[in-house]
Chain A
Amino acid sequence: MVTLISQWILSLLIFFPLLGAVLVAFTKDAQKARHLAVAVSVLEMIFSFHLIAHFNVDSSAMQFAQDLAWLPRGTGIRYTVGVDGLSLLLVMLTTILCPLVFLSSYSSIGSNVKSFLALFLVLESAMIGALVSLDLVLFYVFWEAMLIPMYFIIGVWGGKDRIYATTKFFIYTVIGSLLMLVAFSYLYYAHYQANGIFTTSLIELYKTAAALPAGVQMWLFAATALAFAIKVPLFPFHTWLPDAHVQAPTPGSVILAGVLLKMGTYGLMRMSIPMFPQAAHDAAPFMIGLGVFGIVYGALIAWRQTDIKKLVAYSSVSHLGFVVAGMFAFNELGFTGALYQMVNHGVSTGALFLLIGVVYERRHTREMSEYGGLAKQMPWYAFFFVVATMGSVALPGTGGFIGEWMILTGVFQVSPAMAAVAGTGVILGAIYMLWLVLKVVWGPLNNDENKKLTDCTPRETFVLATLSVFVFATGFLSVPMLAHTEPTMKKLQQSVSKKEAYKTELVIRGTSDEPMRVMMNGR
C-alpha cells in the first residue's frame, strides 16, 4: 500500500486540488464552498506529509517518480514527475501555506467566492505541478497554468487599478515564458541532432545542454534566466511586482510572495544553472551583482514607501536579491542558503501580507499614516506583526537568519566585497521594517477610526500563530529540515563547479531494489 501511494503521490498532489476545484465550483453555498476548499487543502497537506515521511534523505535522486506516456511517442514528451531535495521543501511550503490562505479568504473575499476558490485550487495544482515536473513541456504547461488563475485573481478580486496591474503581470510573465519556450525548443532540436531522437526529459536534456558550445549555452542561459528573473523578480525586471501586490487581494498577495516568486528562483536552480553550467559560471559575477544591487535598491525604495503593501513588495525585491546572489556563489552554503531563504521568505512575507490584510479588511486603506498605535487596541496583532518583522529582518532564532547567514557566508567565500555590500541589506532591512512597525504598531492611537478596531479573530489568530511558530521553528530546526536537501545541493554544487552535466535519476518506488526506509527523524 505504501509503495502504491509512493508511486502515485505526486500525481495525487497535482490533481487532487483540481478535483477540489471542480467540487467547489458545483457547491451551492459560498460558505460551504469555503469549508470545502479548506478541507481539500488540508487533505492535500496531509498527503504531502507522505513525502517527508518516506523521503530518502541520503539520495539526490528524483524520488516518488512517475514516468507515463502522455503525448504521441515520436514527440518524446512524457508525463514525468519526481521530487528531490530542491523541490521537496518548496512543495511542503506550498501545501502548508495553501490551507492558511484559504482560511484567510473567509473574510477577505466576499464576491464570486466559488470562482475564487476554484481558481485558487487550480493554482495550487499548477504550482505543485511546476515544482515536480521533470519534463520540459509538462513544466511549461504548469508554468503557464499558474499564470491564468493568478491573472484572474488579481484582475477580478483586486483593488482599484487591478486591470493595469494584472495586465502588467501577465505581459511580463508571458514575455519571459516565450523566451523560455524558445530556449526549450532549441534544446529539443539540439538533442535530436545529437542523438537522433526527440525528448523533452529534463534529465536527458541536462546532458545535451551542458555539452553545447559556450556561446550557445550563454544564449540559452540568458533566455531561461531572463524568464525566471522576471518571475523572481530580479532587479531590473521587478516593476510588475509592486503593482501586482498592491492590487491583489490578500490571499493573492500571500501566495504570490509565498510561492509564486519562488518559481523564479526554483527555475534558476533547477534549469538555468545545472543545464548551462559553463554559461552560469560566466554569468555568475553579473547575476550576483544584480542580486546584490537589488538588495540595496529594493531596500532603499521600500523605506520610502507610504503604502504598506508596496513597502513589503519592495522588501521582497530586496530579499530575493539575497537568494539569487546566494545560488550564484556556487558553493553548498550559497545553494542551501538560497533554498532555505525561499522557504523563510515565504513564511515571513506571507505572514506580513496576511497582517496587512487583517487591518485592510477593517479599515480599507493601506496608507501607513492612517495607522499608528495599534498595539494598544490590538495587542495580539502587534505581537504577530513584530514576530513577522523579526523573521523578515533575519533575527537569529528565526529561519531568515539561517538563510541569510548561509547566503552571505557563501557569497563571502567567492567575493568578500559583494558580501559586504549585500550585508548592508541587513541594516537597511532593519530600517524599513522597523519604520513600518513604528508607524503602524507603536506610537499614539490618534485616529478615531483605529480606536474601534478589534483584535485578531480566532481564525486570524490561528493562521498568524501557525506562521509565527514556523518563523521560529525554521530558526532552530534547520538541520533536520536541510538534511533532506543536502545530497541534492551537494550534487548541484559538484556538477556546477566542475561545469559538468547535472546527473540525476528517477527512483520509482516498488521497481527499484532500494529498500523502503522511514526517514522521519533525519539522519
Chain B
Amino acid sequence: MNYQAMLAAVLLIPLLGALLNGFFLRRAPRLVTVTVGTLAIAVPFVLSCLLVFGPVSAGEVIRTELFSWISVPFNEGRLEVPFGLSVDRLSGILLLIITGVGSLIHLYAGEYMSHEEGVYRFFAYLNLFVFSMLSLVLGSNMVVTFLGWEGVGVCSYLLIGYWYSDEANARAGMKAFVANRVGDLGFLLAMFMSVKLFGTLDYSRIAEALTNELAAANAPLLTAIGLCLLLGVTGKSAQLPLYIWLPDAMAGPTPVSALIHAATMVTSGIYLMTRMSFLLVHSPAAMTTIAVIGACTALFAATIGLVQNDIKKVLAYSTVSQLGFMVLGCGVGAFQFGVAHLMTHAFFKALLFLGAGSVIHAMHHEQDIRKMGGLIKKMPITGWTFVIGTLAIIGFPGLSGFFSKDEILYYAWSGTFGHPLLWVLGALAAACTSFYMVRLTYLVFFGESRVEHAHHHHDHGHGHDHHHHEIHENPLAMTLPLMILAVFSIIGGYVSMPHAIMHMLGIHAGENLITQWLAPVLEKAKVVMTAAHGEAHGSAALEWGLMGTSTLVMLIMSGFAIALYKAGPKGGESIAKAVGGLYRLILDKWRVDELYQAVIIEPLKKVGDGFFKFGDRALIEGIINEGPRGIYLVTSVLSDIQSGLVRNYLKVVFVGILALCVWIFI
C-alpha cells in the first residue's frame, strides 16, 4: 500500500466504523460493537505509526487529494478547494495522539459503558469524532480543517448530550455547540480574509504567497486574521471569554471527557495556531493578545479549580488552565512547546480523566470528592496511576509536565513575545495547579474513607440496575489504558528537555527533540521572528532560576494542600471563611455564566421578542392591515365565508385577465 492510500485509509476507517456501528450493527452484540469501534481507531493507529515513523520522520510531507470539493471562478482565476490531506511532522504528532490515545480510550469505554443500553450509538459518535478530528489535523487547506473543526463540535454536542433524557445534559451539549459556533465565526472570517489576501486557502500556498513585502503592505489585515483565528481558538480550546462550555461538557460520559475534552478536540486551537504560525508571527499585536489571553485563562481557570468539589469539574477547570499554558506558549512564539505540552497534557490529562472515570464507575456515579477518601487501598492501580498523573501535571521534576510546562514558562519570560509579567501569571497558575491537584488526589485516594455505606443509587437517566456495594478495582480493559498512559506521562516530557538540563547531562544535540522535529514546520515563523526581534534572549542562569522557582512553588503548594486536607475536606473551611465573599464568588465560577446570561442572552431574547411584537406584528402588519383600508376590507370580506372568498378571488383573477387582454390587444 502506498503512503497516499494509507493516509486516506487513516481518515476513512474511523468513518467506516461510525457508519457500521451507526447503521448496520445496531442489533449486534456488545462485543462486536466495541471491537468494531476500537479497531476502527487501532488500525489507523498502526497505519499512522508506519507513516509518521517512516517517511514523515525522514522529512517527507505526504499529500493526497480525495476529490475536488469546491471550485468556483474567482477574480481572474479559480478558487479551488480540494478535499486534500497532508501529513507533515506537526500533523504527525497529532495523528499519533488522536489514534493512540483514542484507541486506549475506546478500549476503556467498552468496559466503562458496559452497563449501558444501545452502546452502538456511543461508539458511532466516538468514531465519527475521531474522523472529524483527523480531518481537522490532516486537512491540507483551511476548509477541510474547518470540516473537522465543526465536525468535532457536533460530535461533542452529541456526546455531551449522550444521556439526553436529562435535559441538563442536552442543554450542556447545546451550550458547547453554540459557544463553539461563536469561535467558528472567527475561523470563517479568517478564511474570508485569506481568500481576499491570498486567493487560496491551502496552507502551503498561503505560506508561499505570504512574502515579507506582502506582509508589510497588509499588516492590519494580518492582525485581523490573527485575531479572528484567536476567536476560533478561544471557542474550540476553551479560552477566555468562550471557555464556559467546557466545564458543562463534563455532563458527557467520562471517556468522552478524556478523549474530547482533554486530549484532542480542545487542543485543536493549538494545532491551528502552530499551523498558521508563519502568519501569526507577522503581527506582534495578535501574538501578544494570544499570549495574554492564554496567561489570563491559565490563572483564571486555575482559581476556580481551587474550590470545586466535583472530581470531573476540578479536572475540567484544570484542562482550561492547561490549555491556557499552551496558548501562552504559542503566543510568546514558542509554538513547539505549545505542541509539546499538548502532547504531555494529552497523556496525563487523559490518564487523570480515565482515573476519575474508574473511580466514578466503581462508586456508581458518585462524583463528589467530599464523599471519597482512602480509595487507594481499594483501587491501587487507579490510585497510583492517578498519583503519577498528578505529579506529571504539577510539574514534579523528571515527569512529563515538568519539562513541557517549564519550557513554556521560560519562554513566557524570555521568548520573542515574552514578558516577565506573563511569567508571573503563568507561575501563579502553576502554583494553583499544584494546590488543587494535590487537594484532589489527597481527598480522593488518601486519608480516611468518607464513602457512605448506605449507598443510594444515583441514576443519571441511564438505567442500569445492579448494585455492588463493595468498591473494588476495575477490570484490565480499564486499568491497562491507565498503566500505558502513566508510562507516557512519565517519559513523554523528555522531548522538550530544557537547554540547561541538556548541558548538565552533557547532551550537545543543539536543540531538544521537539524543536528539531518541528523545525521544518516552524521554519518560516522562526525566520520572521529572528529577523524582526533577534534571537530569543534567555540565558542558562535565567532558565535555572525560573525552573528552581517553579519547583519550589510547586513543593510548597503541594505541601500546603496536604497539610490543609490531612483531616479531610473540612480543612479548607477556615480559609474559605476568612475570605468569605471572594470564596463564594470563586465557588460560583466568578459568575461568568450569569454575566453572559444577563448581558448577552437575555437582551438578545428581548430583541427577538421586540422584533416580533413591534416589527412584525405592530409595524409591518399594522401598515399592511390598517393602512390601505381597501386591502383591509377585502381581507375582512374574504375571511367571512368561503363562497365569498371564491367570488372575490374570481374577481381578482378576472381583473388580472382583463389587464392581460388590455395589454395584449391594445
Q: Which A residues fall within an 8 A CB radius of B?
A: 71, 75, 77, 137, 140, 144, 148, 151, 155, 163-164, 167-168, 170-171, 174, 177-178, 181, 185, 188, 236, 239, 242, 297, 300-301, 303-305, 331-333, 336, 372-373, 375-376, 386, 390, 395-397, 402, 405-406, 408-409, 412-413, 416, 419-420, 423-424, 426-427, 430-431, 434-435, 437-438, 441-445, 476, 478-479, 482, 486, 489-490, 493
Q: Is the CB of B164 within 8 A of A239?
A: no
Q: A304-B609, A423-B189 are in contact. Are A476 and B72 (CB under 8 A)?
A: no
Contact with A along B190-210 (1 / 0, CB 8 A): 011101100000000000000
Q: A239-B616, A304-B605, A442-B167 given. 20 additional CB < 8 A pairs?
A: A163-B642, A163-B645, A167-B639, A170-B649, A236-B615, A239-B624, A303-B608, A304-B612, A305-B612, A395-B151, A396-B151, A397-B151, A409-B195, A423-B189, A434-B174, A441-B164, A443-B167, A479-B67, A486-B72, A489-B73
B665 neighbours in A (Cβ, 8 Å): 75
Cβ of B574 under 8 Å from chain A = no
Could you name 17 residue pairs across A and B whose Cβ atoms are closer than 8 Å? A163-B638, A164-B635, A167-B639, A174-B656, A297-B615, A300-B608, A332-B72, A373-B164, A413-B195, A416-B193, A427-B178, A427-B185, A430-B181, A437-B174, A443-B164, A444-B166, A493-B73
Cβ of B50 under 8 Å from chain A = no
Interface residues of B in 630-646 (CB under 8 A from A): 631, 634-635, 638-639, 642, 645
Contact with A along B553-592 (1 / 0, CB 8 A): 0000000000000000000000000000000000000000
Q: In whole angstroms, how far apart are the Cα atoms of A114 and B609 in the complex?
A: 42
Total number of A-B contacts with CB less than 8 angstroms? 175
Q: Is the CB of B638 within 8 A of A443?
A: no
Q: In whole angstroms, how far apart are the Cα atoms of A252 and B649 in the complex?
A: 20
* A148, A376, A424: the one within 8 Å of B185 (CB): A424
Q: Is the CB of B631 within 8 A of A409?
A: no
Q: Is the CB of B166 within 8 A of A479?
A: no
A438 neighbours in B (Cβ, 8 Å): 167, 170-171, 174
Among B142-150, B379-387, B500-508, the stretch that binds chain A is: B142-150
A373 neighbours in B (Cβ, 8 Å): 164-165
Contact with A along B345-360 (1 / 0, CB 8 A): 0000000000000000
B605 neighbours in A (Cβ, 8 Å): 303-304
B contact residues, range: 35 or more
Q: A373-B165, A427-B185 are in contact. Are A304 and B608 (CB under 8 A)?
A: yes
B195 neighbours in A (Cβ, 8 Å): 409, 412-413
Q: Which B residues fall within an 8 A CB radius of A?
A: 67-74, 79, 83, 143, 146-147, 149-151, 154, 157-158, 161, 164-167, 170-171, 173-174, 177-178, 181-182, 184-185, 188-189, 191-193, 195-196, 461, 604-605, 607-609, 611-612, 615-616, 620-621, 624, 631, 634-635, 638-639, 642, 645, 649, 652-653, 656, 659-660, 663-665
B171 neighbours in A (Cβ, 8 Å): 438
Q: In whole angstroms, how far apart are the Cα atoms of A412 and B196 in the complex?
A: 8
B534 CB to nearest A CB, Å: 35
Q: A163-B638, A438-B174, A442-B161 are in contact. Are A77 and B67 (CB under 8 A)?
A: no
The 8 closest A-B pairs by CB, nearest first: A442-B170, A300-B608, A412-B192, A396-B147, A442-B164, A443-B167, A304-B608, A332-B73
B135 CB to nearest A CB, Å: 9
Q: Is the CB of A402 within 8 A of B165?
A: no
Q: In whole angstroms, how far apart are the Cα atoms of A409 and B604 in the complex?
A: 26
A301 neighbours in B (Cβ, 8 Å): 608, 611-612, 615-616
Q: Is the CB of A420 within 8 A of B189?
A: yes
A416 CB to nearest B CB, Å: 7
A479 neighbours in B (Cβ, 8 Å): 67-71
Q: In whole angstroms, how far apart are the Cα atoms of A168 and B605 in the complex?
A: 28
A405 neighbours in B (Cβ, 8 Å): 70, 143, 188
Q: In whole angstroms, how far apart are the Cα atoms of A193 and B122 in the complex?
A: 72
Interface class of chain B by DSSP:
helix
A149 CB to nearest B CB, Å: 13
For A181, the closest partner residue in chain B by CB is B659
A159 CB to nearest B CB, Å: 14
For A390, the closest partner residue in chain B by CB is B154
Chain B CB within 10 Å, residue with most, of A137, A144, A427 = A427
A331 neighbours in B (Cβ, 8 Å): 74
Q: In whole angstroms, how far apart are the Cα atoms of A301 and B146 in the complex?
A: 28
Q: In whole angstroms, how far apart are the Cα atoms of A396 and B178 in the complex?
A: 15
For A151, the closest partner residue in chain B by CB is B649
Chain A CB within 10 Å, residue with most, of B149, B170, B652, B656 = B170
Q: In whole angstroms, how far apart are the Cα atoms of A390 and B151 in the complex?
A: 10
Q: In whole angstroms, how far apart are the Cα atoms of A493 and B608 in the complex?
A: 36
For B164, the closest partner residue in chain A by CB is A442
* B150, B174, B182, B607: the one within 8 Å of A300 (CB): B607
Q: Is the CB of B656 within 8 A of A144?
A: yes
A181 neighbours in B (Cβ, 8 Å): 659-660, 663
* B73, B150, B193, B621: the one within 8 Å of A490 (CB): B73
Q: A300-B607, A406-B70, A443-B164 are in contact. Are A188 and B189 (CB under 8 A)?
A: no
B70 neighbours in A (Cβ, 8 Å): 402, 405-406, 478-479
For B185, the closest partner residue in chain A by CB is A423
Q: Is the CB of B165 within 8 A of A167?
A: no
Q: In whole angstroms, how far apart are the Cα atoms of A416 and B185 in the complex?
A: 13
B174 neighbours in A (Cβ, 8 Å): 434-435, 437-438
Q: Is the CB of A431 within 8 A of B178?
A: yes
B153 CB to nearest A CB, Å: 9
B621 neighbours in A (Cβ, 8 Å): 239
A402 neighbours in B (Cβ, 8 Å): 70
A486 neighbours in B (Cβ, 8 Å): 72-73
Q: Is the CB of A297 within 8 A of B639?
A: no
A188 neighbours in B (Cβ, 8 Å): 663
Q: A333-B72, A479-B69 are in contact. Are A395 and B167 (CB under 8 A)?
A: no
Q: A406-B70, A409-B191 are in contact. Are A434 and B177 (CB under 8 A)?
A: yes
